[in-house]
Chain A
Amino acid sequence: MHNIFFATVRRDLKIAYRNSSDLLNPLAFFFIVVTLFPLGISPSPQVLSGLAPGVLWVAALLATLLSVDGLFKSDYEDGSLEQILISPQPLFMVVLGKVVGHWLVTGFPLTLLTPVLAVMLFLPVDGIIALELTLLIGTPILSLIGAIGAGLTVGLKRGGLLISVLILPLYVPVLILGTLAVQAGVDGQSFAGHLLWMGSLLVMGLGLAPLATAAGLRISASS
């Protein structure tokens, strides 16, 4: 049972590694979007440091969203999804494996890249620490919720924009908690409460999101 979880994570990591654009595009997207803000608004450190938490979180959210669209796409097209659905293994574990694989190639590297961008946006060090911690807990939630949308739309020819409409409203709590925690960090206040809330959202997501995703995949395969 755990076997299939790790086997799936390993498989998806291998695939991502061999299609390096899958790995690099979300990161490049993240970097470019963040770069647009100083160009579009102002290079002034005062302005940018105020915007930084929101800008970085929104960019991270969009980068995850755009990449999660393809989570089940190739499995759907090449028939792997059918094999997954008629496997005696628990679908929950396979889905969880795929989501973890997705996080390891998008959310996690994105979290590692963020300090560079945060410095470029003049976010104070305390804020960067809060940002890193919230991204570390928050980006897996984004992958989990995104997978629900990906599962529901995988059979549709034009799923790309639709998945944004389905999923972005559900990202609101993560965005709010994340940016509030960073703001608290910048203001020198404790953000442990925010992290705790985010942690409970993560636990809830781990338990429920793969169920909804699995149900969505069964429906998509049956249409």
Chain B
Amino acid sequence: MSLEGIGITCERDRRMLFENLDFQVSDGEILRIEGSNGSGKTTLLRIICGLFHSYDGDIKWQGKPISDDFAGYVDQLLYIGHAGGVKESLSPEENLSWLASLQDQEVSQKNIWEALAQVGLWGYEDVLCGSLSAGQKKRVNLARLFLIKAKLWLLDEPFSSIDVDGVKNLEVQIEQHLDGGGIVMLTSHQLLNINHAVRSLLLGY
């Protein structure tokens, strides 16, 4: 199985973000999207997710354009975006439970608590997210990586506003995902310290 981008060209506000971009990631591989601020890293991830449509070229999943079977594609996709998708007036548990049902996955309260413990939020299950710090909200969002099963991870700056322990923990989780044949694409300003070869995709002119 693989994710492929063929000749991706995108311009926004009359500015070429990238032109004829090609990439491919297969089982157990990780690809890091590099580029300066405003080079279109987030836009590329949103294109791969099928959220952004104003581009030319093809995104293929298992050799077929993602629009052919979009529901089947997103079923295997986990996207952690810039904005967390975390509601301030819900508790971490309520947030994760709804996000899991969006992903069409049955999770028990125990699963959620375990995932929260993994990201160091043990004991925060019932606190409203509005009273959590930015880093903690980010962790709620990242807890989905421990909770929801998906083959393809698309992570937008997963390490931002996370402390050293959190980063280490996340790296271990990414390693395990890759060991299990998962695919990861991420944007990050910092280098990853994992036991897999990290390929790079450089954006910008």
Contact = CB atoms under 8 A, between A and B. Distances in A.
- Our verdict on whether A and B bind, yes or no, reads yes
Mostly, the A contact residues are: helix
Nearest to A7: B101
B81 A88 contact: no
B102 A4 contact: yes
B81 A89 contact: no
Nearest to A74: B87
B52 A78 contact: no
Contacts of B85: 78-80, 82-83
Contacts of B71: 88
B149 to A, nearest CB: 12
A86 B74 contact: yes
A83 B51 contact: no
A105 to B, nearest CB: 13
Given A15-B89, A19-B89, A86 B79 contact: yes
Counting contact residues on chain B (CB < 8 A from A), the size range is 20 to 34
Contact of A86 (B49, B82, B87, B94): B49
B198 to A, nearest CB: 25
Given A15-B90, A78-B87, A221-B52, 18 more contacts: A3-B101, A4-B102, A7-B101, A11-B94, A11-B98, A18-B90, A77-B83, A78-B83, A82-B49, A82-B81, A82-B85, A83-B79, A86-B77, A86-B79, A87-B74, A88-B71, A88-B103, A222-B54
21 contacts: A4-B102, A11-B98, A14-B94, A18-B90, A18-B128, A19-B89, A78-B84, A78-B85, A78-B86, A78-B88, A79-B83, A79-B84, A82-B85, A83-B81, A83-B85, A86-B50, A86-B51, A87-B102, A87-B103, A89-B104, A221-B52
